[in-house]
Structures are given as structure tokens and as C-alpha cells.
Chain A
């Protein structure tokens, strides 16, 4: 029986090659993702290990506000502590250091240097190379307040040399010029994942970063031969409360694990798309094997006649699937390494720069890929294999071959049931929220709809095909008839595309709702005419020096600075927004539901309606709060405002903010009200011309840039979903090829009675377009539903407007038709090239 399986495989090389392609692509994606993330993991681990290899101990503030690890909020230490630590027996060297953000180089062309949203870091340069994370590659350390050491990556990219002058944008002072005294690596890397580094001597760095008299951490090297644990305990004894001493290894591990949790998210996100692709691939496999079993009815029945058991037939079909799955997975693994490089390039194109390192190919990658690849193929082939088992031996000698099919009613009941369960799971998952349940619900809905699809395949193909019959005459007419001929096959083929387009449409609806909500929250919240924000949205901030300059520009009548920070309310980590109170109503529109906005100036807390009802808080309540720098206290709620995503949930005055966030008080935006004169914008832009890291936007431009941000994200998701759509198209190609093969005789006949090659091609193309549009229509309907459900469930997260982007959906439909045409090109050519005589003679 095994030999029969292998022979069967060899006899259907072409159709199986197309099936394999679907799996190959999916596995390539998975393997690529694993290789990429493993490589990055390895790169970062060795990078941080290297950076901290000489640091034995580190003294630092205890992590505040619940979070811990590499990204924790920690308070600064008094600089005097450095001398105390140095005096501890067994300490060979102890150096205090500071670091902060928004220290940004200006390129020779006058642009603020920023690599794809990576932070712009300013640090103190530690002259002791043992403890410094920075290793000088050229030149010397900074010694005067006008010296800087630049990271090698930025220097190489922009052509900076030692001895040159570079302008630097500073967070708390106007931009200034510095002399490059040296170029340094971060550990072994030219830079840290695209982040720029500017290193100054300690006093300069403290001044620049608003840390005069304090340090962020103290790196310690112990004396040779000293017991590190003993030194650690000795240091701990002299430390004030709220300060801790940990080993260098701990710091390295924390940094690595912070990066790794980001990588894990990245890994999961990519794997989700890979599994979507494989899920779509599963439909293609199911369909191919169904058709193959149908075409081999006679052969399989013959096997039964000569004594093959049902079990053997079942195994034979599954065996075929397993071999196909195995081979495709192996090819996919190989291609995955190439894909890893491709993904890196793709993400690079979208502005996410990653450090380079040798590719890592772990055993786990191989195991997962083989299991998933073979698993998906075999599971998809189970239903066709069961159909093969039901073939009666008599079919081998019977005249008519009819495909055994599940009765439509039973099919409908099952499909409707699965869809319903899917909808329930999805709805429950969205309200909880439980992302796994949402995914499961979506999968069930897709499977259910795919089972329902044959019921509507015939009428829908008929409707979709009507214009084609009108346009293309007999060719279109025949294409339409062919698509109606086997509703199950049509539906299965279209289902793959349905899934792809459903996801694309869902994302489109979600994105449009996101954009729409952002725009309406801007309209509701902003009274300002101009908005000053950092060019880099990820970690940027507005330098403090800018605020008075912008406010003094001719035509500006009012200004507010907006700050954000983390705090705990009733022990729960939240984000706080702060705004100036003087010109509040001229720049920000607070729709008060309870209390007054005037209470802000009195140091009270404003909360939004969503939070008020969720936590059952009212004006006059006093809530416990914790701030990193100032510790626990209580606040009185002075008002409740209508929820607005732009404002956030918790609002305080700028005065209150400055009192509790002394070390990080930088605005994230400055809002300006003008006298309405058309020159005001130009005046502000001119006043800020020295700050290329800032942009001045009108309200309309600000809205547009919010839309553009959403669209960029959509672009990335579309690109990742493209693979699923491509696999669906392969499914269409496959079905058409099999149909052409099946109808060789019929096409030959049509050619014999005078159908031109052009007409044959038009016939196959019409069928393909009908298939594609059928899948697209269902997909868009299902996807729009999913998108609306997803968006509605995020109302409390700020998605207040549900927008169905009709024009995008129409574009998808047209695109699907075009893709259908493309998918048809090969089968159409093959059909047109059929040897008429051979086709007729093949009786």
C-alpha cells in the first residue's frame, strides 16, 4: 500500500507541487520568524553580557511603581554616595553615571538625527573603561563642557569625524555645539539597535539632563581577590533607604530580559501572521485533496476491489499528505533562513532597525516547523481521506462517477452551528478581553462560514458571473457555468481567499475606526490652533527651552504645555496627563460632567467618565496615589470630564506635575492658540527653526499625521497579511489547473467546434474572477463584521467612532478580481494550449 501512495504522489507531481507551495510559504514564515528572533535574542544577550562584563556591582535606586527589570522607574542617588561607596573596603573603583533621553544630534544637513523611532540617549562618559558601557574606538574621552563622544554607528552613517563640531538638541537648554573628541561603541555594537548615543563628561551630562548633584547609578569594580558577595553586603550596609546594590550580572540579565520580552511580543506577532497563512493554506490543501480524491475515485475503488481495506485507503491518502507536508516543511525551513533576512529588510523599510549578528538556527525551529507543516497538511487531508473511504468498490466499474457529497441540509446545520459558536466565543473573548478566545472565535467563524459557503456558491456565482457573460459572450457564459458546476469546490477555493480578505477588511475597518476616533478626539479636545510635537513620536519630548520661545512668537495668544508620567492610583499603574492651567480653556476643551476644571489649579485630580464609572469614583472622593519621586500621598477628585483618548484618563495641573516629576519634566506637546492671523504659523515655525526635532502643525495637519501613523501601521499589517492572500491565490491556481485537467476532453471539444484560444483563456479567466470575487465578497462581509466587533469592544480604550471604509473595501474587491485574473493566467494558457486531437482522443 505504501508503494501505491508513493506512486500516487509521483503521478500527481504538479498538483501536489502547488499544494506544497502553500505549506512551504507558511513554514518559511515560521522558520524565518524563529531564526530572526533567535538571532536578535542572541545578539542582545551577548551585547549586554559584554557591556556589563567588568561591572561587578551596581548601586541604584529601588524600582518604583510596581514595575521592575530593565525599564523600571528608579530615583536618582545623591552624588555624595559615590565617595561613600568608593571608601568601602574591597571596592577598587566606583563611578557614578547619568543617562537620559532627547539628546539629539543634528545632521550636517540640518535635520534631527533619529533612526526609525529609536531613542536618542545622552549619558555621562565614564573615563574608567572597565566600568563604562562605551568603548572608545577612536579619539579620546570628553574633558570640557563642549566635548562629546559620539556612537560609531551615527558617525559612520552621517560621516562625522573626530575633531568636527556637531550641533546637539538638548532637553533642558537651547541647542548647542560640541566638539567630537572620540567615537565609541556600545559594548561590541556600533550602536544600540539604532539608538543614538551622546556621551559627555559627568558634570556636563548632569547639567544637560537636569541631574545636577545626582547620579542614576554607581558602577563598582571590586579589588582583585575580593569576595564580591562580601563587598556587596558591605556596600548595602552604608546605603540609605530606597537604594540597592546588585551584581553586574543581574543588571545584564534585566536588560536582556527587557529586550527579550519585547522580542517575544514581536515573535508572537509574526507567528500569528504565519499561522494565518498556514490556516489559509489548510483550505487550499483540503480543496486539493478533495479534488484529487474525486478524480481518483475509480482508482481508489479499484484498490478496494483488489482487496485494500478502508483503513488502507485512508492511510494512503493521509500518507500522501504527510509526505507532501514533510517535504514542504523541509523546503520551508531552508527558505526560512532567507526569509529571516527578508523580514529584517521589510521591518527596516517600515522604520524598525535591528542590530545585525550571525543567524541563529535552533533545533526548536526545526521541530516546530516539521510538526506544524506535517500537522496542518495531514489534518487538512482528513476530510478528503474520509470521503475516499466512503467510495464503494463498485465505483470502479460503474458508468457514472458521482462525487459523494454531504447533504446540503446537514452541511448547513453544521456550518451554522460552528459559526454561531465562533461568534459567541469571539463576543465573550472581546468583552473579557481574552485574546486567545477572540482568535479561536475568528477561526471557528471562518470554518463555519466556509462550510456554509457551498449553499450560496451557486446563486452567488450566477450573480457575479452575469456581467461577465454579458461582456464576454459565450466564454464568459461558460466560465460562469463552470464556476456553478461544483458549488463545494467553488466554495472551498473561495474560502481561502475569504479568510485572507476577511482579515484585511477587519483590519481596514479597525484602522479607519482608529483614525476616525483619533480625529474626533482631536476635534473634541483641542481648542488650540497650532500643536508643537517632537518629530520622533516614540520617545521624543519638547525641550523645555522651547516653551517660552513658542509662546512669545508674534500672533500667539495662549499656550499650554502637556506632560505625561506614570503613577499609581489605588495601587494600580496608570498614566497621568498634566496641562498648564493658565490658558487651559483657550487650548484644551474639557467637557466637564461633574465638578469644575478650576479644581486643577488647586492640585486636585480630574478623571474621565469611563474611569469614574468603572471605579465608581465621584467628585470629592479622596484616592491614594503613589509617585516615583515623592512616594505615597492622597488626592481629591475635583472633577469628571467626558472621556477623550487624546487627553487620557487622569489629569493634573503642570504645577502639580513639576512638584512630583522633578527630574523628567519635559512636555510631550505644546499647544498654542493664535489670534487667527495667517502669519502666526510661519512666525512660530520661524521661532523654532533652531529645533529640527520639533514640528509645528495646524490642527488639520495634526489630524492628518495621526491618520498617517495609523496608515503606516496598517501598511505593515497588510504586508504581513499579503502572504495569506498569496496562498489563497495559489489555491485558485491549483483548483483551476485541476479543473482544466478534468475538463481536458470538454475543452478539446469546444476547440474542435470552433472555440478560439483567446476564448478558452477568457473562459478560464472568467471562472477565476468569479471564484475570487465570490471569496472576496464573503470575506469582506465577514471581515467588516469582525472589524466592527473588534472596534466596538475597544470603546473604553478610546475607539469611539466606528467607521466602515467603503472605498477601501471596494478597492479590495476590485483587487481580488484583478488577482483572480492573474491567478488564471497559467491555467488559462495551459487550457488554450491543449492539443485538440489529444483532448478529444482521451476518451
Chain B
């Protein structure tokens, strides 16, 4: 099978960025069975910023892992674009992650032996693909890390590291970026900077982003908030504000 080169933003098919259908993930068996995902169906639209919220153990991370090709669901389908990723083998999944998905992790996860610049171009280098210099310069300028590119991760602040991670997530122009608690380890200033960049990338060049978060203020940057509990969607909220999110969380108990 071939995985299509990512089409430039704005010219993509009408399929949503990603979609889960009856996605189920269970651990253990018999009486000890745990349903991390209880047949969840959800669609993440193109060029939208979606926040996924929910208490610990609600299945947020599992959902993200299954949809990003990091974990395999027990049953159901997960689509990236129109591609059902359940049937892919390790090699295809690797290529999918490399070419069509971007990741931002809570703990930055930069490779310590590579400089900031090298970390950003890592997915392109791994693919053996030429880096789009204009795109690279644009991202670096937007994220204000142009002067830190030759530094190693240990020489960068947390905020700088996370901004590098953002640039890395976007360098291959992925269909979808998954961000797992991207501001969890950042102070409020750095958090805002990262979230504002994510917001802008959705608005300005139609990036699709799914962000798992605990933080209502962070989720307020999203276009839509999906609330999970016990492995399924219990509620959602469009055009959220920090207050409306807090309100919802209270009603959900």
C-alpha cells in the first residue's frame, strides 16, 4: 500500500482529519476486565482545534494513542483521513506517524544528543526527505527559536523545548497533530505561548489539532471541547471559554 504524500493544507479531501468508530479498548479479562475505551465514536474535523478533557482514567490518552497508531484498539475502526489504520502493520504505522501525524508531548521529548534545529527536522531526516527551508524558517520565526537552533535541549528552557517540539510536530505538514498535555510541565507564560501558536496554526494555515488536557484555560484555546468519562464521550462544548468549561466540569461532577 502507499501512503499519500500529505497534500498542502486547504486542498485536502472532504474527509475529516480523523475519526473513531465504535472504538473499544479493553485490558484484562473476566471480572477484571477494564474498558479503557467503551465503543467510542468521535470525529475530529479538519482545520479545527479540538480539546479532549476528562478525569484520570477516562480514556483520553488511550483514545489518542489508538488514533495516532501508537496503540491498537481491541475493536472498532480508527481513521486518519480516509485511511483505516487498524489494518496497518508496524512499518506502515511508522510511516503514517512520520508523514501524516505530529506529536507534542508533556515532557517535550526532544532527543538529547541532537541540537534544537536537528530535532525539528528529525521526522524529515528520518524519512530521508529534503526539508522545506521556507517552511522551516517560517515555523522557527513564528515560534521565536531562531537563535536557539544550534543549542542542545538541555541548554533550552522548558518553553523553548516545547516550542521546538511544536515545530517538529509541524515540519512534515501532518494531517493531524496530537498534543498530550503540552502545557503540563510549563509555567503560565510559556503555556500561553505554546497554546497561542497552536491556535494560530489552526486559524492561519488550517492545521488540525487534537489536544488532551486537564487545564480548562488551555482547553479554552480550542474550537471544541470533548468530555470523556469511563471510556466514552459524555458531553461536548463548542466555542468554549475557561468559564464555560469549568461550568461543564462541575455539572459532570
Give the interface of A toward B (CB within 8 A).
473-474, 477-478, 481-482, 484-485, 745-746, 749-757, 759, 836-837, 840, 843
Contact = CB atoms under 8 A, between A and B. Distances in A.
B126 A753 contact: yes
Contact of A481 (B95, B99, B103, B113): B113
B21 interface: no
A485 B109 CA distance: 17
B112 interface: yes
Contacts of B113: 478, 481-482, 484-485
Given A485-B113, A840-B70, A754 B91 contact: no
A485 B154 CA distance: 13
8 contacts: A477-B114, A481-B113, A756-B94, A756-B126, A757-B94, A837-B71, A840-B70, A840-B109
Given A474-B125, A754-B126, 17 more contacts: A473-B125, A477-B114, A481-B113, A749-B105, A749-B111, A752-B97, A753-B103, A753-B122, A753-B123, A753-B168, A754-B98, A754-B99, A754-B123, A757-B90, A840-B70, A840-B105, A840-B109
B71 A751 contact: no
B125 A753 contact: no
Nearest to B108: A749
Contacts of A757: 90-91, 94
B127 interface: yes
Interface residues on B, range: 20 to 34
Contacts of B114: 477-478, 481
Contacts of A473: 125, 128
Closest 8 CB pairs of A and B: A754-B98, A481-B113, A474-B125, A749-B109, A837-B70, A837-B71, A754-B123, A756-B94
B127 A754 contact: yes
Interface in B75-119: 90-91, 94-95, 97-99, 103, 105-107, 109, 111-114
A665 to B, nearest CB: 76
B126 A837 contact: no
A745 B90 CA distance: 18
B98 A753 contact: yes
Contact of B126 (A474, A485, A840): A474
B65 interface: yes
B65 A837 contact: yes
B94 A754 contact: yes
Nearest to B122: A753
Contact of A752 (B91, B103, B112, B128): B103
A753 B171 CA distance: 11
Contacts of A755: 94, 98, 126
Contacts of A840: 70, 105, 109
Contact of B111 (A484, A750, A836, A837): A750
Contact of A478 (B98, B111, B123, B127): B111
Contacts of A836: 70
B83 to A, nearest CB: 16
Given A473-B125, A474-B126, A757-B91, A752 B111 contact: no
Nearest to A483: B113
A526 B109 CA distance: 74
A143 B103 CA distance: 99
Contacts of A482: 113
Nearest to A478: B113
B101 to A, nearest CB: 8
Contact of A746 (B65, B70, B95, B112): B112
Contacts of A843: 106-107
Nearest to B94: A756
A457 to B, nearest CB: 15
Contact of B91 (A474, A745, A753, A756): A756
A751 B106 CA distance: 17
Contacts of B99: 754
A756 B98 CA distance: 9
B97 A746 contact: no
A746 B91 CA distance: 19
B128 to A, nearest CB: 6
Nearest to B128: A473
- Most chain B Cβ neighbours within 10 Å, of A484, A754, A840: A754
Nearest to B68: A752
A316 to B, nearest CB: 30
A759 B126 contact: yes
B72 to A, nearest CB: 9
A830 B105 CA distance: 24
Nearest to A755: B126
A736 to B, nearest CB: 16
Nearest to B114: A481
A756 B99 CA distance: 12
Nearest to B152: A481
A752 B104 CA distance: 10
Given A473-B125, A473-B128, A754 B65 contact: no
Contacts of A749: 105, 109, 111
Nearest to A756: B94
Contacts of A477: 114, 125
- Most chain A Cβ neighbours within 10 Å, of B90, B94, B97, B123: B94
A484 B91 CA distance: 29
- Most chain B Cβ neighbours within 10 Å, of A484, A745, A753, A756: A753
Given A473-B128, A753-B122, A746 B71 contact: no
A477 B118 CA distance: 11
Contacts of A752: 70, 97, 103, 109
A473 B122 CA distance: 11
A291 to B, nearest CB: 17
A677 B94 CA distance: 76
A756 B95 CA distance: 8
Nearest to A833: B90
Contacts of B103: 752-753
